[in-house]
């Protein structure tokens, strides 16, 4: 849908707050709003009734609206917008806001509020949402005067989308939305306390280049900042110029094509064996748009101890927060990478790359091949059949890690997941947002049977709009990741992880969604092909997989590379690996 700007004649007219609000969204180029009406926003919904530039998507729960906005933002790079009522409408957005905050996703949430003079009186559907969301938003506002409305909206979008992106909430009291004033939309923003740095400090970039020039075993450690900065191209140029191997975080997946020989896939708790070992052996670690999260580092004192560290990030507070670095560069990744690439020369990494290639052959990602259907097989088949060109939205748990490991990511913005907060129930509503943002590519939602049940109500929204989403439910009848931890670290005492579910095929059909069930490995490819060729609306496939299977490799929480557990299953001869070394405990040092 193409947005048309407000006609000039709208400017300078007397309007109500509600009309101004809607006009302001049009000015910001907002095309889709995910929302849910209610008493405190009824005036805004009245103003929305006449607007054709903005598509309003009625979700079935406000949490769904927030995740949809996140999915939209991640897939498009544009801000996602949420509109909900006061009280419970507002509090239902909290999980999605916290999720967007942890994962640096630009969304703007507009909440209704009771009238200004009622605030603090425990009025019907009143909640102090500005207070509640203060620690989980990049910034938030309460608009107490209609004359502040346009400036506040302009600032909200500016703050959400610049610097390190994040959620911004604007609380709109009902009476303010009814007050009238002249409509003038500001052209620019003046915030003296907020001036994100874009260009990296030239001296620091030079220092980084000098450090890198001495590297014998360099590694590029790449996070979601590269995707937020739209810098995948710049990253590839740098990596290839340096001949430097690349590992990505969960949110960095897609920033560097895994088909490239320099790719080592994901690192961290469930990263590849070789990326984790390479990081612990490397002598220069170049962190780009990543934040040394504990799921990446394990025990921080033991993380990449051999390495001098360069850290490029737009957020000064992310630097030296968890791990002290030698050369910090604050700035927009794209700009810094361009400057850095000019200053570096190709490195002699032939030996280093050969060592990594050998590790790859000896310790590939793998899974058990037997009569049971396995999630890894489903994901690998999806990767093959889509050639890595789909937008894949995962939930949280084992399937999420297997998707990260086995899909073979190719494109930025093709992998969408809840990383920092780890919000089960994220995938289905987020895939809806991705489908509105990116109608050209197939959108695949993957959930477990647990996570799917947390926001399955959004099937109604997806069916209403006939969004052609391929919805995969990986059903093992367990909360699999918790079960895995209980198996490995809690003496197999399976406490409340055995979860029942409705008949997913019947459930989908009840919503009016086409559905299939797959239980045999031989049916996987056909079923996925059927789903990919079905464009008329959503299709759900339930994959009934092995009840108990574990995600490997694994570095247990808070531990070091020495506790890295590789997959106990043998390396198949079909892979390049000839080694049958299994369940290795690595001893890197010495």
Question: Would you name the residues annotated as active-site residues?
Answer: 62, 124-125, 174, 481
- The residues, ordered by sequence, that sit 6+ positions from 25 with a Cβ below 8 Å of its Cβ are 33, 54, 81, 153
In the complex with another protein, the residue whose CB is nearer, 138 or 174, is 138
Q: Closest approach of Cβ 412 to another protein, in Å?
A: 26
In the complex with another protein, the residue whose CB is nearer, 218 or 328, is 328
In the complex with another protein, the residue whose CB is nearer, 136 or 177, is 136
Q: Closest approach of Cβ 491 to another protein, in Å?
A: 29
Angle at 444 between CA 439 and CA 446, to 5 degrees: 150
Q: Nearest CA to 100 among 224, 230, 252? A: 224
Q: Tokens for 419, please give them.
A: 């990383």
Distance, in Å, from the CA atom of 353 to the CA atom of 359, rounded to the nearest integer, reads 10
In the complex with another protein, the residue whose CB is nearer, 199 or 315, is 315
In the complex with another protein, the residue whose CB is nearer, 190 or 345, is 190
Q: Residue for token digits 């910034």?
A: 139
Distance, in Å, from the CA atom of 163 to the CA atom of 240, rounded to the nearest integer, reads 27
Distance of CA 472 to the CA centre of its chain: 18
Q: Closest approach of Cβ 71 to another protein, in Å?
A: 26
Q: Quick one: DSSP state of residue 181?
A: E
Bridge partner residues of 514 (DSSP): 539
Q: Closest approach of Cβ 297 to another protein, in Å?
A: 13
Q: Closest approach of Cβ 135 to another protein, in Å?
A: 5
Cβ atoms of 561 and 587 closer than 8 Å: no
Bridge partner residues of 553 (DSSP): none
Q: Quick one: DSSP state of residue 586?
A: P
Q: Closest approach of Cβ 164 to another protein, in Å?
A: 9
Distance, in Å, from the CA atom of 438 to the CA atom of 442, rounded to the nearest integer, reads 8
Indicate the burial class of 573 (C-beta count within 10 angstroms; 0-12, 13-18, 19 or more).
exposed
Backbone angles phi and psi of 329, in degrees to 5: -130, 115
Q: Closest approach of Cβ 45 to another protein, in Å?
A: 26
In the complex with another protein, the residue whose CB is nearer, 315 or 569, is 315
In the complex with another protein, the residue whose CB is nearer, 186 or 316, is 316
E strand or H helix that includes residue 355? helix 350-362
CA distances for 264 relative to 90, 278, 472, 513, 544, angstroms? 42, 9, 27, 38, 30
Distance, in Å, from the CA atom of 215 to the CA atom of 213, rounded to the nearest integer, reads 6
Contact footprint for another protein (CB under 8 A): 130-131, 134-135, 138-140, 142, 144, 159, 191-194, 315-317, 319-322, 324
Cβ atoms of 43 and 174 closer than 8 Å: yes
């Amino acid at each position: 849908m193409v947005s048309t700007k407000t006609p000039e004649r709208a400017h300078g007219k007397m309007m109500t707050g509600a009309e101004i609000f809607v006009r302001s969204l049009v000015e910001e180029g907002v095309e889709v709003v995910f929302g849910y009406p209610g008493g405190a926003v009824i005036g805004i919904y009245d103003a929305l009734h006449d607007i054709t530039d903005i598509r309003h998507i009625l979700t079935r729960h406000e949490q769904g609206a927030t995740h949809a906005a996140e999915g939209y933002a991640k897939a498009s790079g544009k801000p996602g917008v949420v509109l909900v009522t006061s009280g419970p409408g507002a509090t239902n957005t909290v999980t999605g806001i916290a999720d967007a905050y942890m994962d640096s996703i630009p969304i703007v949430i507009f909440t209704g509020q009771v009238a200004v003079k009622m605030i603090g009186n425990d009025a019907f559907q009143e909640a102090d949402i500005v207070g509640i969301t203060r620690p989980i938003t990049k910034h938030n506002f309460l608009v107490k005067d209609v004359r502040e409305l346009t400036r506040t909206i302009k600032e909200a979008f500016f703050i959400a989308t610049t610097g390190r992106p994040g959620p911004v909430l604007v609380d709109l009291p009902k009476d303010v939305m009814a007050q009238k004033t002249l409509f003038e939309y500001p052209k620019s923003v003046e915030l003296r306390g907020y001036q994100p740095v874009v260009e990296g400090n030239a001296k620091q970039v030079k220092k980084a280049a000098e450090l890198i020039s001495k590297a014998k075993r360099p590694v590029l450690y790449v996070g979601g900042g590269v995707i937020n900065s739209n810098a995948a191209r710049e990253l590839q140029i740098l990596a290839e110029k340096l001949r430097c191997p690349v590992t990505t975080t969960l949110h960095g997946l897609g920033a560097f094509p895994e088909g490239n020989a320099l790719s080592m896939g994901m690192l961290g708790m469930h990263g590849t064996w070789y990326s984790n070992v390479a990081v612990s052996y490397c002598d220069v670690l170049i962190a780009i748009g990543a934040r040394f999260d504990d799921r990446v580092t394990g025990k921080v004192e033991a993380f990449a101890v051999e390495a001098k560290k360069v850290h490029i990030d737009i957020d000064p507070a992310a630097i030296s927060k968890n791990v002290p670095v030698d050369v910090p560069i604050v700035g927009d990744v794209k700009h810094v990478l361009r400057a850095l690439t000019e200053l570096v020369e190709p490195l002699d990494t032939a030996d280093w790359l050969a060592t990594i290639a050998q590790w790859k052959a000896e310790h590939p990602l793998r899974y058990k091949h037997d009569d049971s259907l396995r999630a890894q097989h489903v994901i690998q088949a999806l990767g093959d059949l889509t050639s890595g060109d789909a937008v894949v939205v995962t939930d949280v748990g084992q399937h999420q890690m297997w998707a990260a490991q086995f899909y073979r990511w190719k494109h930025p913005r093709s992998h969408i997941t809840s990383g920092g907060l780890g919000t089960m129930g994220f995938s289905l509503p987020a895939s809806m947002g991705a489908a509105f943002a990116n109608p050209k590519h197939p959108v695949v939602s993957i959930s477990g049977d647990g996570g799917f049940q947390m926001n399955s109500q959004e099937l109604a929204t997806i069916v209403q709009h006939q969004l052609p989403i391929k919805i995969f439910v990986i059903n093992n009848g367990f909360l699999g990741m918790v079960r895995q931890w209980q198996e490995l670290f809690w003496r197999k005492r399976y406490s409340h992880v055995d979860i029942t579910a409705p008949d997913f095929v019947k459930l989908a059909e009840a919503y009016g969604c086409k559905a299939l069930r797959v239980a045999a490995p031989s049916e996987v490819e056909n079923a996925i092909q059927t789903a990919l060729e079905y464009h008329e609306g959503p299709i759900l496939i339930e994959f009934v997989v092995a009840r108990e299977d574990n995600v490997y490799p694994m570095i247990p929480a808070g531990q070091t590379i020495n506790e890295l557990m590789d997959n106990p299953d043998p390396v198949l001869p079909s892979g390049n690996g000839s080694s049958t070394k299994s369940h290795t405990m690595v001893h890197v040092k010495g």
